[in-house]
Each structure stands twice: as structure tokens, then as C-alpha cells.
Chain A
Amino acid sequence: MIKRVEVNYRGIFQKSLGKYLGSDIVMIASRMGKVAFSNGRYSDSPERNGIPCKYFAFVAEDLSEEELEAECGAKLDIDEADVSVVVDDTMVKGVEPWGWHGVRPINEKVHEKGCLLVITRHQPEDLLKFIAKKPYPYRLATLEGDASLAGMWVFKDDLTRERVLGAIAAVDPGIISIEAVEAYLLDKTKDARRAGAAREAYEATLRRVRLVKPGEGINWSHPVPVLPKWHEFEDTGIAVPAVPRGFKLGPRGQGRNDRFKRGTTKTHRPVIRFDLCIECTLCWLECPDGCFDPTEDGLYDVNYEVCVGCHKCAEVCPEPECIVMVDELRFENDRSPWEHWVRDPQGYIRWAEEKKGKERVHFPVVTGTGREVREGTYVPPKLSGAETPA
């Protein structure tokens, strides 16, 4: 029997983390006398920042190395996973890998006895608000943590690698045992703290496995693209129809091609306090993906379907608290924030402040410092005329 682990990670930022986890599983399983091997989904490999990608590890006890590779190594993707690890919880909203696959549910590959293991600070119930229903029961385990940059070349070692190994041992000891994880980490690093982190995560995860019932979750709204047969498309090479030239003011007013959305790329999204905007145009000018739509009142709406959460607008915005990056999991939809603001300015400001919460996430330029969380400040609404609250 072959055990299959997939690690869902964010391209570039978590690339090394994904690969290291793959190699670690192979090394640990080999030390346990099993046959193992690891690869990545190659079409993911020309990664761009934040693109959802996958790394795989395969473990077997009763197969030769060649049989294992023939079964698993000659394929681009897996049919089912024993454990699907998610090292950035915002990917539970669906992953749109490179290419023409559409937005796929994060638990797509998890089989009936399998486990979806998410590194998150959210509750399992909150995650299930975004995860597709399955016709059979499966397990959802959560391990407390952030979307780690451990493994990136500017990494801050936060022991995520060790903790995930411990958590995998907890949800499926048939892949790697916690004893083997500890022994491996001790031998490799001579650092008891690392083996300890794995053990701690192992014990914590054992207490945080939840059975997801059949039908629990959401109806998946994203269609799966159907790839045409060779004689079903024009024989002039691949060409994607362009959008009409020109634009109009207002939400979705700029021509964007629906075939090139990359919304599942983001871990954070910009929340805009339109009342604080000084109309400096910088967010609109600097956005690398052209996500900001100028509106007739001189403001800039943002299209979350195409925003990849790069943080640039928030960095260039000169007004404190006007554009703040917020955890993508706090949002249920991609609707226009400007329309909300026009409809109900006070309600919008309350909504925006509630979403923003108290913490502001930054990624300092200095290498090796990881991410930084600061306290935000509350700026009272600046509403003109009759709209000013009493």
C-alpha cells in the first residue's frame, strides 16, 4: 500500500518549506525501513509569488523503489491523498494552480480515511465555511501557527518544519512515527528543541482532529474547466480572446481578462478606508496587477478577484490606516468595497474596522526577520456634511 502526502504551499514564499517537508518525510520513512520518494507537481514549479503549489511525498512498505516510482513518480498529480497538508490556511478558500485547472477545493484529494491538516489560528468550523462538501467523512486537523516563511532564503526559523512533521505523525502514524521524527531531528540537528517542537505539535494535533461529516462544508461554485479534444479547438495554436479596449469609471470598469484571474494567490487583502483617501492615485498607479478601478467620485475601488495580495498598495499609501492588509480568511466574498461604501458609508467604516481588527502584519525588508505584527491605531471617520456621525 502506498501512502501519499501532499503539501499545499504558496509559491516562492514557502517553496523550500514544501520541498524540505518532502525530503524529511522520505528520510524519516527510509530510516523506518520503508521505501519513499518525493517530488513536486512540476507545472507548479515555474512559481510566482503566492501561487498555490504542491509538493508530494510517497511512502510504501511492500513495494520496490522502482514500483513506487512507476506508480507515483511518472504522474503529474495524485488521485487521492492520505494527508493533505496546508501550510497557509488561506488556501482553504480554494487553489487555482498554474495552468487551466480552475479553482479547486483544498480537500479535493483527501480520501475517506484521509486527513486535511491545516496550519492555522482559526477554528475548524471557520475553515469549513470555505471548504467544499465531500460525500464521505474525512478528518480535519488543525495545528496552531501562521503561514510560515520558514525555509525562504530570508527565512525566520519558526520550527514550522519540525512541527508539521510531528503533526503528520499524529494524523497518520502509518506514514512516519513520532519516535522516528524525533530520532531523525535529533540526529540531523543535534538540537533537542527541534525534536521537542515536533513532539509538542504531535500531542497538540492529537487533541485537534475533527471528523468532518458527509455533506459538511459548502457547495463548490467554481466550475472545472473541460479541456478540449485535439480537433475541438482552432488549429492555430493557443490564443485567448482579449478584452475590448478602453474602460469606464466604476467597479470592474477596467477591461480584465477572466481567463487570467489570480485571486487565490493572496494571503492578505487590502481593506480601504475610503473616508481617509486623499486621492493621491498611488495605489492605482503602483498596483502591479492593475486591480484598482477609478470611480466617478475620485476614489479607487479594488477588484479582489484579481488582487494577489502583494501588499504594495498598502506600502505606498501615504495615509495611515487608509489601506491595511487583512487576513484573507476574514472575507466571504469578492464584492466591490466601493459600492458598499457608497451605499452605507458609516456601515462600511464599521465593517472595515471590524475586519481590520487590532493587528497589522508587516514583512520587514531586513532579511531573516520574518513577519512582524504591530498594533494598529483607530482613526475616527472623516465624513463630510450630513454624513458625519454625531
Chain B
Amino acid sequence: MKQTETDTAVLDQRLAAWDRKELLNGCQAVAQGVRLADVDVISAYPIRPYTEVMDALSKLIADGKLDAEYIIADSEHSQFEIVKHASSVGARAFAGSSGTGWMYGFEALVVTATDRLPPLFLVGNRALDDPGAFGVEHNDAMALRDMGWLLCWATTAQEALEHVLIGYRVAEDSRVRMPMALAMDGAFLTHSQHMVQVPTEEAVARFLPRYDLGPRRLHPDNPISIAPQVNEDWVMELRRQNWEAARRAKGVIVQAYQEFNEIFGERYATPFFSEFMTDDAETVLIGVGAVAMPARTAVRRLREQGRKVGYIGLRWFRPFPTEELRECLSRFRAVGVLDRNFAHGSPDCGGIVLHDVRSCLYPLASRPAVVNFIGGLGGRDISIADCTRMLEITGKAAERAGDEETVTWIGLRE
């Protein structure tokens, strides 16, 4: 195709959207995203691995690179309440946590969604104690799945930075107004250092409009009372509105990625999940988070041997991309769902992602075989060899669909 003058202008503009490359770990990349989003209020309370985000933000403020109120809370509960209230007065607000700290603040998280306020939270995924454990496990963020939140995972430090911007853009949209949780694997992503491209403030300003709550803004000039007590005659309608907002959010997400690509270059082929070598694939693995690195490498190596395998990285878990994923997965013979979480006592005692994936496939007349892997709990590593094994087990499930074990634990001492 002949390149037109307009194309060149667009390309130049996209090149200008990027400022510099910096060596950043996942936490520092998120802090850069928060700086670029020009956040007004940050509330902090330490818990690893999130702690390094608050450290990086306080340093940005101390260095004069970010102008924001930085409030140290006395606990996660206060921390989340602070950003909820800041958000209600029209401040773009940021907080974050991990593991049990995240759970401790849950009451505040729940009301932020029902108040339809859009602060952004970083969840540095961490196993839930006891015993005290630091490694990644997704149950902490997954606990939000029924609470009216937007929930999305970053795969790389670069994606983490970009999803702070995309996250605010979606959450604050007047058609959405839902709180946003951006999750990131503890250790493997939060604490490893990568070269990250940092966009310019000008480009970000083109992508991310000012936060405007309109008539819902709590202000002396606009006195309102938020969240009064209601009786039995109100709650169902409020829940239905919440559903509607989540439904609208899907369209807003699609639009946000489109515009992101226009400004910053074609970075995301699909918004809700990424597909890797799936074109003529028969067997795919679907996973969440940083496990994409070994999984994609395993796929690439199996492809070199002529095996028709692929990997799908599920980015958005709430709202769940039901139709999109159903259409995508219907192309394959077998799907292996990798859960870095465990749904205690659930059907087949599998993982949380398994249940949503299987449920979304149910209406199909002809469904792929679905098997589940529980792996990497509490930070146990998932290697390239583990991913190869999972793809092999999944491939076999297609051949003898129906009588296979649904759930296999990977990396367990047994």
C-alpha cells in the first residue's frame, strides 16, 4: 500500500508521543503512569509488593515531578476511603495494595463501586495469608469480580504504565463511572526491571481528558448528599444500573484502545485479550498476567516443531468479554485455562477463570474441550516447560473429550 502524506503525518505524531526509554520495574512504571495522568490525590499504606509504587510516587513528588496530595493512611480501609472521598469532590485519585491488606480495605472498595466513583487502584497480586507469604496469587484482586468494578491485568511493565492511562480513561467516562483495579503479578512484574518507553505529557493529554464528575461533584458550590440510606424499594434498580454501566464500559474500552492506538501507535490489536499465534491453532492456553512470557515462549517453540498451538492472555476480567471470547475460543478444539488462583469448593474445585470461561462457552452448539490448570500459587514459578506440559495435556483433551481430568495442579509437590 502506498504511503500517503497523511499516513506520514500520523506516524510522525505517533513517534512524537514517546518521550524516552527508562529502566523501570513494574511498580515504577505504574508510578510513571500516575504522574502522566496528573493524579491529584494519592493515599498510601504499605504492603509488599505494592509498597514500591507508593515509594516511587513519594519520590516523584519529592523531586517536583508530580504535584499531588500524598496522604499516608492509618490502614488500607482509611486509605481506600480517602481516595473514594477525593474522587467524589472531583480529584483524580490513586491508591493500591496487595494481598490481605487489600482484603482489609474491602468494605471501602465495595462502597466505591456502589457510589459509582472512578478512582484507580493498583493491586500488586500477593497470596492471602496465613501463613505469611509474599508471592503472586490472583485471589486478592479476583475477590472484586462480583462487586461492580473494572478489573484488568497488565502483562509487562510497559502495559502497566499504559493501563493506568487507559484505566482512568475508561473508569472516568460519564457512561461508565466505575472504580478501576489494575492488577499486576507480584515479584515477576512488580519487581523486575525492564526498559520502558515513557510517553510525553502532551500525547497523554490528547488521550486522557480531564476528570469531570459534572453534577455529581461534591463541592461547596454544588452541595449534594451522596449515598443516603435507602430501603428495599431502591437496591434492585441500583444494581441494574451498575450492570448497564458495565455493559456500556465494554464499548468505552474498545474506543479507548482505538484512540490509544491512534495516538501512540498500533500497540493493541484487540482490547480485552491478546492472541498469540492463534491463527490456525487447534489447542490454546488462556492465562492471566505475567505468565504470558513463558507461555508465549513455549508456544513459539512448539510452533517450530509444527504444533498448532497458541496463547491467549486475558487482560480484562471485569467486565468479562463474553461474546468476544466465546467467538474467539469457538475456533479451537481444546482450551486449557491456567488459573493463578484457586476457587475453594467451586465446581470441579478449579480456578475462577475456568468457571467464567466455561460458562461463556456453554451456549455454543459445538464447544471446545476445556481443561483447567492450577499453578503458580503463592509465587511458585511457572516455567516454559510447565507451559509446554499444559499445552500437551490440553491437546490430548481434544482427542478424548469428555473423560479427561478437568483440573491439573502444576508445580505441586505430590
A residues whose Cβ falls under 8 Å from a Cβ of B: 22-23, 26-27, 30, 37-40, 42-43, 45-46, 65-67, 69-71, 73-76, 227-231, 237-238
Determine if B192 is an interface residue (Cβ-Cβ < 8 Å).
yes
Which listed residue (A23, A46, A70) contacts B297, Cβ 8 A? A70
How many chain B residues touch A (CB < 8 A): the figure is 32
Determine if B163 is an interface residue (Cβ-Cβ < 8 Å).
no
For B130, the closest partner residue in chain A by CB is A237
Q: Is the CB of A73 within 8 A of B192?
A: yes
B residues less than 8 Å from A65 (CB atoms): 194-195
Which residues of B154-194 have CB atoms within 8 Å of chain A's CB atoms?
186-188, 191-194
Which listed residue (A73, A74, A76, A228) contacts B413, Cβ 8 A? A228
Which listed residue (B192, B291, B381, B383) contacts A37, Cβ 8 A? B192
Count of inter-chain pairs, beta carbons less than 8 A:
86
Complex Cα distance, B192 from A65, in Å, reads: 13
Q: Is the CB of B413 within 8 A of A229?
A: yes
Which listed residue (B49, B134, B193, B384) contacts A26, Cβ 8 A? B193
A residues less than 8 Å from B307 (CB atoms): none
Q: Is the CB of A237 within 8 A of B131?
A: yes
Which listed residue (B296, B379, B384, B414) contacts A229, Cβ 8 A? B414
Q: Is the CB of B131 within 8 A of A238?
A: yes
Q: Is the CB of B412 within 8 A of A230?
A: yes
Which listed residue (B25, B293, B379) contacts A70, Cβ 8 A? B293
Q: Chain B nearest CB: distance from A17 CB in Å?
A: 15
B residues whose Cβ falls under 8 Å from a Cβ of A: 23, 25, 48-49, 130-131, 134-135, 186-188, 191-195, 290-291, 293-294, 296-298, 300, 379, 381-384, 412-414
Q: Is the CB of B296 within 8 A of A74?
A: no
For A63, the closest partner residue in chain B by CB is B297
A–B Cβ pairs within 8 angstroms, 17 of them: A23-B193, A26-B193, A38-B192, A39-B25, A39-B191, A39-B192, A39-B193, A42-B188, A43-B135, A65-B195, A70-B294, A71-B297, A71-B384, A74-B188, A76-B135, A231-B414, A238-B130
Q: Is the CB of A23 within 8 A of B413?
A: no
Q: Chain A nearest CB: distance from B191 CB in Å?
A: 6
Q: Chain A nearest CB: distance from B53 CB in Å?
A: 14
B residues less than 8 Å from A228 (CB atoms): 413
Q: Chain B nearest CB: distance from A238 CB in Å?
A: 4
**A42 with B293: in contact, given A227-B413, A229-B414, A237-B131 (CB under 8 Å)?**
no
Complex Cα distance, B297 from A67, in Å, reads: 6
Q: Chain A nearest CB: distance from B184 CB in Å?
A: 13
Which listed residue (B191, B193, B290, B300) contacts A45, Cβ 8 A? B191
Complex Cα distance, B187 from A15, in Å, reads: 16
A residues less than 8 Å from B298 (CB atoms): 70
Q: Is the CB of A70 within 8 A of B296?
A: yes
Q: Is the CB of B381 within 8 A of A46?
A: no
Q: Is the CB of A75 within 8 A of B192?
A: no
Q: Is the CB of B134 within 8 A of A45?
A: yes
Q: Is the CB of B291 within 8 A of A74?
A: yes
Q: Chain B nearest CB: distance from A62 CB in Å?
A: 14
Most buried by A among B25, B130, B412: B25
Q: Is the CB of A70 within 8 A of B187?
A: no
Q: Chain B nearest CB: distance from A144 CB in Å?
A: 29
Complex Cα distance, B135 from A107, in Å, reads: 26
Q: Is the CB of B195 within 8 A of A42?
A: no
Q: Is the CB of B193 within 8 A of A74?
A: no
Most buried by B among A38, A69, A74, A229: A74
Q: Chain B nearest CB: distance from A26 CB in Å?
A: 6
Q: Chain A nearest CB: distance from B410 CB in Å?
A: 13
